[in-house]
Chain A
Amino acid sequence: MTGLLLIVLVVAPALAAFGSLVGRNARFAEGVNLAAGVVSFAASVWLVVRAAGAQAHTWWASYILLDVTGAWVILCGAVVYLLASIYAVGYMRLLGEEERLPRFYALFAAFALTIFVGPLMNNAGLYWIAIELTTLVSTFLVAFEREAGSMEAAWKYIIVVSAGISVALLGTVILYWGGSLVLGPTYDLTWETLRRAAPRINPAILTLAFLLVLVGYGTKVGLAPMHTWLPDAHSESPAPVSAMLSGALLNAAMLGIVRYLSIVDAANVGGLPRGAFIGLGLFSVFVGAFFIVRQRGVKRLMAYSSVEHMGIMALGFGFGGPLGVAGALYHMLNHSLNKSLMFFGAGNAMRAYRTKRITAITDVMDRFPAQGGLWLAGAAAITGAPPFGLFLSELMILRAGFHGHYDWIVYAMAVLLIVIFIGFLNHFRVMYFEEPQGGGRRTEAAPSAWCVAPMWLAFLPLLAFGVWWPASFTSYFSLVSQALSGMRP
């Protein structure tokens, strides 16, 4: 049954990609992609339920794995895929690239496919390949608009990320080598095998491998200082792609670091690995804060906010313990919802004002009351204000920090969050309440329902998760925490 669900999850976007290419019709491609979004979302919810109910399953000579951690990441990815598929219907029609749309949707569905496949890989090498594939597919989505800016972003993206994750491959090979000294020359590179073998692997090798993997996958996650590709790629790609990159892709790469962290935890190698992870996380929040304050482009603002939130997630996983893991996982889901909302709003604003400059976008509230209100609420939510989901998860992560005696890191993080709150909302003050300075070309057409509906769909759960932390989530997160610490096979 679970196997069948997995097949559905993977086959739906694969069929959509294939159908879009074969169909050669933009409306048909929109339809199949949307259908795939709905189907894979349903499958992913069900998979989370199944994963919680049983032990981790493996298939195909244990190359495929469904565990609680991976299922959650897939759920977050599927949420964004569904929302972005709805949004893309409205947004992509505005670009006037009708004849290239089938190719866009084929790539879009393939991108979702690679994001779903990554967390299912039970082999460190295959996981690496899945992450590499996400890069290759999404490069062409970033480059879709074929302008000088998007070409530049795509080129930087593929070079920086490929170079980065080749470091992760080096880490993987070195870990395999370390394992081969205790397990014999040939063994399966599964997460479970590695965790079991970790206490016997030489600590120097284990630490080196983790640090290389942290830098490698950290590049893909967008942890500073390896984040340089992220603002470019996020700001230059079409809005639905930005949402997918930020809300789905980054999580899939974060999962790799978390899995390696759980391997290193199983051995006694001192505090360096965890410390490095926390350090990168804090530095990401710092870089995010710095660039958010002095940002001029509206989509780059959202991109740096992603750097910040990945940093917070890294802090959550880095602080560890049941609290930290729960906070980070809750943060992952809420960030996926919230960042989709923000990118959709930014895309609508970009289309309406024909610019990405914050200062040229004025009077949003008067011109687009309903949608503008949603976007503003989303902005408050993404800075961690109550009563939204990210407030609860950030609070949980701060608590986890105190619990793990990382007091100074928690203080620094709290200060940076306040800076981000002020800086981020100041940009929204300019866009909403500053007097228009004339000029600026505008279109008066209101955005289509396709472009606004997904904003509601993202907003309502975000609000709900802010006032109500479901008890079932708590028990699920404690399952993940047990699985990561090796207590639950």
Chain B
Amino acid sequence: MVFTHLDPLAASIFSLMAIVSLLFAFIMLGSRWLDNYLYAFAAESWVIAGLSASVGYYAGYPELYLVAILTGLFRGLLLPYLLWRIIKRLDVNRELHEILRPSSALVVGALAVVFALVVAYRIGSELGLAGTVAVLALTVMLSMKLIGFLMLTVRHEAISHILGLLVLENGIFLGAQILVPGMPLLIELVILFDLLIVVACFGVLVRYLISQVGSTSSLQLKRLVG
């Protein structure tokens, strides 16, 4: 329960970082180039690493420094590198058949944020936390969740799906840093490693997809129905 006795500077820093990472999610949503997704994801991860460190500093959880370092290394460097290798293996560098144009996707994303805000606000006032950074954290967490699902729905490239999943995870991770900084270290570490395995598995699967289906677009995956 950090957020009730937080000095205003810390609260502003947390809010700023949460908002910036939400913006990066929007950049991913609004672009159709796979490279841009990747840079935005890496940047978002670095911001979240910064957030971990500053929560660790202001709220007095030294173990969060470790989490911050590992987040930066894993989510900020290693995962983007693995994804970059996957992208290099593909012969596409942009979304070819999006259901929603990026501009429309941005509008839907904005609506998702409004919805998340309403939900978070309700929960916040129920708990008597209205106006604290907790409401913002909940908003960003839920919005990134919704934006991730939006990316999964309106995009077809395998790499967009992987990044959509990673945005889902980033959203939860970001929210968890602010809401439950005391979450046992073990769990955070295992989740980080788990992500790494997930991306490795995706890499292998993408290779199979290319060799067996001849495409990495989910539009080609329509054999199994009914």
Check if A235 sits within 8 Å of B172, measured CB to CB. Answer: no
Instruction: Specify the chain B residue showing the minimal Cβ separation from A146.
Output: B212
| Contacting residues of chain A (143-160) with chain B, CB-CB under 8 angstroms | 143, 146-149, 151-156, 158-159
Main SS class of interface, A: helix
Instruction: Tell me whether A205 and B212 are in contact in the complex, defined as CB-CB below 8 angstroms, given that A152-B223, A155-B158, A158-B202 are known contacts.
Output: no
Complex alpha-carbon distance, A235 and B225, angstroms = 11
As a 0/1 sequence over residues 151 to 164 of chain B, the CB contacts with chain A under 8 angstroms (1 = contact) are 01000001001001
With both beta carbons as reference points, the residue of chain B lying nearest to A185 in the complex is identified as: B182
Q: Which stretch from A172-180, A253-261, A305-313 is at the chain B interface?
A: A172-180
> Is A136 positioned at the interface, with any CB of B under 8 Å from its CB?
yes
Once the chains are docked, how many angstroms separate the CA of A236 from the CA of B161? Answer: 22
Output the least CB separation between B59 and chain A (Å). Answer: 8
Give, as a whole number of angstroms, the nearest-CB distance from A325 to chain B: 29
Distance of A67 Cα from B197 Cα, bound (Å)? 30
Contact A235 B224 (CB under 8 A): yes
Cβ-defined contact, A170 with B201, below 8 A: no
Q: Which one, A40-48, A266-274, A289-297, A369-377, is touching chain B? A: A289-297
With A126-B190, A139-B205, A148-B212 as known contacts, state yes or no: A208 contacts B123, CB within 8 Å.
Answer: yes
Q: How far is the CA of A348 from the CA of B164 in the complex (A)?
A: 39
- Asked if B183 is at the interface (CB within 8 A of a chain A CB), the reply is yes
Do A185 and B221 touch across chains, with their CB atoms under 8 A apart?
no
Q: Chain A residues with Cβ under 8 A from B179's Cβ?
A: 173-174, 177, 180
**Chain B residues near A133 (CB, 8 Å)?**
194, 197
A242 to chain B, nearest CB (A): 14
Instruction: Determine whether the beta carbon of B226 is less than 8 Å from that of A296.
Output: yes
A143 cross-chain contacts in B, Cβ below 8 A = 205, 208
User: Chain B contacts of A166 at CB under 8 A?
Assistant: 145, 148, 165, 168-169, 172
Closest chain A CB from B127 CB (angstroms): 6
* B interface footprint on A192-223 (CB within 8 Å = 1, 0 otherwise): 00000000001011001000000000000000
**B158, B186, B187, B191 pick with most chain A CB within 10 angstroms:** B187
User: Once bound together, how far apart are the Cα atoms of A153 and B208, in whole Å?
Assistant: 12
The reply to whether A173 and B172 form a contact with Cβ atoms under 8 Å apart is: yes
User: Contacts of B145 on A, CB cut-off 8 Å?
Assistant: 166-167, 170
B172: A residues at CB distance < 8 A: 166, 169-170, 173
Task: Say yes or no for A231: interface residue by CB 8 A criterion.
Answer: yes
Docked complex Cα distance between A185 and B59 (Å): 11
- Of B126, B175, B184, the residue contacting A188 (CB under 8 A) is B184
Partner of A158, one of B127, B201, B218: B201
The answer to whether residues A291 and B226 also contact, given A163-B165, A170-B172, A205-B127 and a CB cut-off of 8 A, is: yes
A387 at the interface (CB under 8 A from B): no
CA A102 to CA B150, docked complex, whole Å: 40
Interface residues of A in 114-161 (CB under 8 A from B): 123, 125-126, 129, 132-133, 136, 139-140, 143, 146-149, 151-156, 158-159
Q: How far is the CA of A153 from the CA of B213 in the complex (A)?
A: 11
Interface size class of B (residues with CB under 8 A): 35 or more
Min CB gap A285→B, angstroms = 18
Q: A129-B190, A152-B224 are in contact. Are A162 and B165 (CB under 8 A)?
A: yes
How distant is A316 from chain B, measured CB to nearest CB, in Å? 28
Q: Decide if A181 is an interface residue (CB 8 Å cutoff).
A: yes
Q: Which residues of the partner chain A approach B130 to less than 8 Å between Cβ atoms?
A: none
List the A residue with the shortest CB-CB distance to B171.
Answer: A170
Quick one: given A125-B187, A185-B180, A186-B184, are A158 and B226 in contact (CB under 8 Å)?
no
Indicate if B141 sits at the interface (CB-CB under 8 A): yes
Closest to B137 in A: A177
Q: Which residues of A contact B218 (CB under 8 A)?
A: 155
Q: Which residues of B contact A30 (CB under 8 A)?
A: none
A300 within 8 A of B: yes
Decide if A189 is an interface residue (CB 8 Å cutoff): yes
Interfacial chain A residues near B141, Cβ < 8 Å: 170, 173
Contacts of B149 in A (CB 8 A): 163
A394 in contact (CB, < 8 A): no
A163 in contact with B190 (CB, 8 Å): no
Does A265 belong to the interface (CB within 8 Å)? no
Which A residues fall within an 8 A CB radius of B?
A: 123, 125-126, 129, 132-133, 136, 139-140, 143, 146-149, 151-156, 158-159, 162-163, 166-167, 169-170, 173-174, 176-177, 180-181, 184-189, 202, 204-205, 208, 231-232, 235-236, 291, 294-297, 300
Excluding A136-B201, A152-B213, A176-B176, 20 further A-B contacts by CB distance (< 8 Å) are A126-B186, A129-B191, A139-B201, A146-B208, A148-B223, A151-B209, A159-B165, A163-B165, A166-B145, A166-B168, A173-B175, A173-B176, A176-B183, A180-B179, A185-B2, A185-B180, A189-B184, A202-B126, A204-B127, A231-B224
Query: Would you give 28 A-B contacts (Cβ < 8 Å), ordered by A?
Result: A125-B183, A125-B187, A125-B190, A126-B187, A129-B190, A129-B194, A136-B198, A139-B205, A151-B208, A158-B205, A159-B152, A163-B148, A163-B152, A163-B164, A166-B165, A166-B172, A170-B175, A173-B172, A176-B180, A180-B1, A180-B179, A180-B180, A185-B180, A187-B182, A189-B184, A204-B126, A205-B123, A232-B224
Which 10 A-B pairs have CB atoms at the shortest separation, nearest pair first?
A185-B182, A186-B182, A125-B187, A151-B212, A152-B221, A166-B168, A232-B224, A177-B179, A173-B176, A204-B126
Interface residues, chain B, CB within 8 Å of chain A? 1-2, 122-123, 126-127, 141, 145, 148-149, 152, 158, 161, 164-165, 168-169, 172, 175-176, 179-184, 186-187, 190-191, 194, 197-198, 201-202, 204-205, 208-209, 212-213, 218, 221, 223-224, 226
